[in-house]
Amino acid sequence: MSFESLGLSHNIIRSINKLGYLKPFPIQEQAIPIILQGKDLMGIAQTGSGKTACFVMPILEKLQNEEVKKDRNIQVLVLVPTRELAIQIDEVFRSFTENLKREIRTMAVYGGVSINPQMKGMFGVEVLIATPGRLLDLIANKALSISSIQHLVIDEADKMFQLGFGEEMNQLFAQMPVVKQTTMFSATLDDKVSEMRNRVTLNPVLVEIKKEEIEIENIEQLAYHVAPENKGPFLRYLIKEKNIKKALIFVSSTKSADSLVEKLKKNKIKAVAIHGQKSQGARRNNLEEFKVNGAQILVTTDLLGRGIHIDSLPCVINYELPRSPLDYIHRIGRTGRANETGTAINILTDDELQHFRVIQRKMGKKITLQRTEDINLHGY
């Protein structure tokens, strides 16, 4: 199935192509047509299954055809449990907006930072991604209204309850219109999530994507213990001494990605990066540079790493570990596909060893930790 067959316009398809997505994830195949039809949706899918793009694309598809509204009435509200998720979702929205019929303003708001810039920047925002507490603060300060939202998205609904947002959610629901399109996502469909569904008087179409099984038996997993100051030199040593022709390197932030690429280039290793802070054109060009034009190394974050499709990738390197064991499986699953063998390399400092032990337990596989003290890294 193609993205074109889901009912998305050429404007959205152009952004999809620029981002390097080749085909929809299962959750996208099923959910996008439902959201485009204006129906309520309950999506059950694991983190990393492509669910963010599956509500971003149809929401932008609809908004681009509506008249722009310059006021403080939010049209689309996305509720999330954490600051990090709010920032990530805002990045995904922005990555799809370049080719739309008109400009659509999006914004992420969350606690832990000054509220004043968020209040000042609220005028004209159509898509707001928010944590519940900060959203209530902004409403109390009359910075915005959610009384006429057209589309409500509740992401990671199960975590909303785990983190104790129940009372705040009740206050927000009381201020929303009864008539709206509602989309909810959760990793599980438990009693608490069903309770939230009842609170918003939701009778949704249910889409459930079973946990993806990624075959890792064809992947040789290696782990190296290094001192923090030797992490960069050891990576360069590995690339050169093991003659790694092609590798996808994962890091935890856009800042780490850019810094790593610069250091690799200084050591005559052809490397490029793609992440949420780069323009769509730069991402497309860098991906093409890696796939076709001879760049050895592509550095990326988990946010964009899921949308990268690379045939016959021989090596994945975790320069920084992911947050969850599931993300680890998805990362290393980029290699060793279609009955080919692959290598997954982990470069670990003392601070990462305990988390790596958790990943191994969840994965059910023990990986021997190799020492590196005796390796001469001079010149790397």
pLDDT digits (tens, 9 = 90+) for 342-354: 999 999 999 999 9
One-character DSSP codes across 173-213: HHTS-SSSEEEEEES---HHHHHHHHHTT--PEEEE-PPP-
Fold designation for 4-208? Rossmann fold (3.40.50)
pLDDT of residue 112: 86
Q: Which CATH superfamily is domain 219-371 in?
A: P-loop containing nucleotide triphosphate hydrolases (3.40.50.300)
Domain ranges across the chain:
4-208, 219-371
What residues contact 93, with CB distance under 8 A and at least 6 apart? Answer: 56, 60, 106, 127, 129
Are 68 and 61 in contact, with CB atoms under 8 Å apart?
Answer: no
Cβ atoms < 10 Å from Cβ of 110: 20
Identical topology for domains 4-208 and 219-371? yes
SS3 223: strand
Q: What percent of the chain has pLDDT over 90?
A: 53
Average pLDDT, the chain: 88
What residues contact 127, with CB distance under 8 A and at least 6 apart? Answer: 59, 63, 74, 75, 76, 78, 93, 104, 105, 106, 107
Confidence of residue 201 (pLDDT cuts 50, 70, 90): low
Please say if the pLDDT value at position 172 is more than 70. Answer: yes
Q: Which of 156, 159, 157 is nearest to 198 (CA)?
A: 157
| Phi, psi values for residue 53, rounded to 5° | -65, -25
Lowest mean pLDDT among 83-97, 273-287, 354-368: 273-287
Please say if the pLDDT value at position 216 is more than 70. Answer: yes
